[in-house]
């Protein structure tokens, strides 16, 4: 988007906005992101009828500014994702399921998995497909997936489960027909996750840095992928500690391929490419 010269993002306004974004989400906007931020917010200023970024800062700081802060985080977060991204992780998940399922059966509970930066849901639905495909291999162990993100806009898409058909690339062609309904008429070119799979997901807004996670403890598997890259080192250290505490003993944490825990003190065992296990 071209930013009109009369709406320029001054260094002071950029610093104020990036501090607010950091305080709310731990997303770091370095100085090199000033133009990007200005272009992402230009349309928002127009929609609000505001003439400058200073007016926008005042709007955010107003006593009733909380909803606008949520909008701001939605606009600055990078939500790129796709089905079966980093496919080796889904293969590892498939191989771990018998072990995880028998432990859950022994403890008399269901399997719990969490996609902790789910964006528009492709990751959580990919996990659900792996679970659904493996269900026949296990006897009577239930399973649920928590799908959460900080972005309300993304979570709405996750809840809807509607995607462009051309982007529903799954490792096996038959899975598309098994787990998706094809749109027709106005929905031609779109596909929707079938209700049986959608019902497996609990979709809710969770900021990874909020005080308390409204997600059950003892998660068997947590995917927290391609989000730590946006955080600074102290935030990563704190996050890994919190996610570890959220895992069941013997549970697994998956992070993005570019996000190994090297340099982060942790209590986990490394057991695959960006895959870690809580001892126990």
Ligand X SMILES: C[S@@+](CC[C@H](N)C(=O)[O-])C[C@H]1O[C@@H](n2cnc3c(N)ncnc32)[C@H](O)[C@@H]1O
Catalytic residue numbers, as ranges: 40, 149
Among residues 92, 100, 154, 203, which is the contact residue for ligand X, using CB under 6 A?
154
187, 175 in Cβ contact below 8 A? Answer: no
Q: From the CB of 141, what's the least distance to ligand X, in Å? A: 25
By the rule CB under 6 A, 71 interacts with ligand X: no
Q: Which is nearer to ligand X, 151 or 219 (CB)?
A: 151
277, 268 in Cβ contact below 8 A? Answer: yes
275-277/269-272 β-pairing: antiparallel
143-149/201-205 β-pairing: parallel
Count of C-beta atoms within a 10 Å radius of residue 19: 11
Bridge partners, residue 270, by sequence: 276
206, 214 in Cβ contact below 8 A? Answer: yes
By the rule CB under 6 A, 226 interacts with ligand X: yes
By the rule CB under 6 A, 258 interacts with ligand X: no
The interface region with ligand X, picked from 10-18, 19-27, 97-105, 139-147 by CB under 6 A, is: 19-27
By the rule CB under 6 A, 77 interacts with ligand X: yes
Q: Look up residue 8 and give its two tokens.
A: 């320029």
Count, residues in the chain: 280
Q: Look up residue 131 and give its two tokens.
A: 């679970």
Among residues 20, 21, 25, 180, which is the contact residue for ligand X, using CB under 6 A?
25
Residue showing the smallest CB distance to ligand X in the complex: 81
180, 193 in Cβ contact below 8 A? Answer: yes
Return the residue matching tokens 């010269």.
Answer: 5
187, 3 in Cβ contact below 8 A? Answer: no
By the rule CB under 6 A, 27 interacts with ligand X: yes
Q: Which is nearer to ligand X, 3 or 170 (CB)?
A: 170
Write the binding mask 175 to 204 for ligand X: x where contact by CB under 6 A, - elsewhere: ------------------------------
By the rule CB under 6 A, 209 interacts with ligand X: yes
Q: From the CB of 88, what's the least distance to ligand X, in Å? A: 13
Q: From the CB of 24, what's the least distance to ligand X, in Å? A: 8
17, 37 in Cβ contact below 8 A? Answer: yes
Query: Which of positions 109-148 make contact with ligand X (CB under 6 A)?
Result: 117, 119, 123
Q: Which residues bind ligand X (CB under 6 A)?
A: 25-27, 77-81, 85, 117, 119, 123, 149-151, 154, 207-209, 225-227, 230, 256
């Amino acid at each position: 988007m071209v930013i009109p010269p009369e709406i320029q993002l001054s260094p002071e306004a950029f610093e104020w906005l990036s501090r607010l974004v950091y305080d709310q989400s731990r997303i770091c906007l370095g100085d090199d992101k000033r133009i990007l931020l200005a272009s992402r917010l230009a349309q928002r200023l127009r929609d609000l009828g505001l003439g400058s970024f200073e007016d926008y800062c005042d709007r955010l700081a107003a006593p009733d500014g909380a909803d606008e802060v949520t909008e701001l985080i939605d606009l600055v977060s990078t939500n790129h994702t796709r089905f079966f991204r980093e496919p080796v992780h889904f293969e590892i998940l498939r191989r771990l399921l018998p072990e995880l399922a028998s432990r859950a059966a022994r403890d008399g509970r269901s399997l719990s998995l969490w996609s902790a930066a789910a964006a528009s849901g492709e990751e959580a639905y990919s996990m659900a497909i792996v679970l659904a495909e493996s269900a026949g291999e296990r006897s009577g162990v239930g399973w649920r997936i928590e799908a959460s993100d900080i972005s309300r806009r993304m979570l709405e898409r996750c809840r809807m489960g509607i995607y462009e058909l051309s982007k529903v690339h799954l490792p096996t062609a038959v899975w598309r027909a098994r787990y998706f309904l094809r749109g027709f008429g106005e929905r031609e070119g779109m596909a929707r996750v079938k209700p049986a799979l959608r019902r497996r997901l609990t979709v809710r807004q969770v900021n990874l840095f909020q005080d308390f996670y409204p997600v059950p403890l003892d998660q068997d598997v947590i995917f927290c992928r391609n989000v730590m890259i946006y955080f600074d080192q102290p935030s990563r250290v704190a996050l890994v500690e919190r996610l570890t505490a959220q895992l069941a003993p013997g549970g697994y944490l998956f992070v993005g391929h570019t996000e190994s825990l090297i340099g982060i003190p942790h209590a986990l065992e490394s057991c695959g490419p960006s895959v870690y296990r809580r001892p126990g």
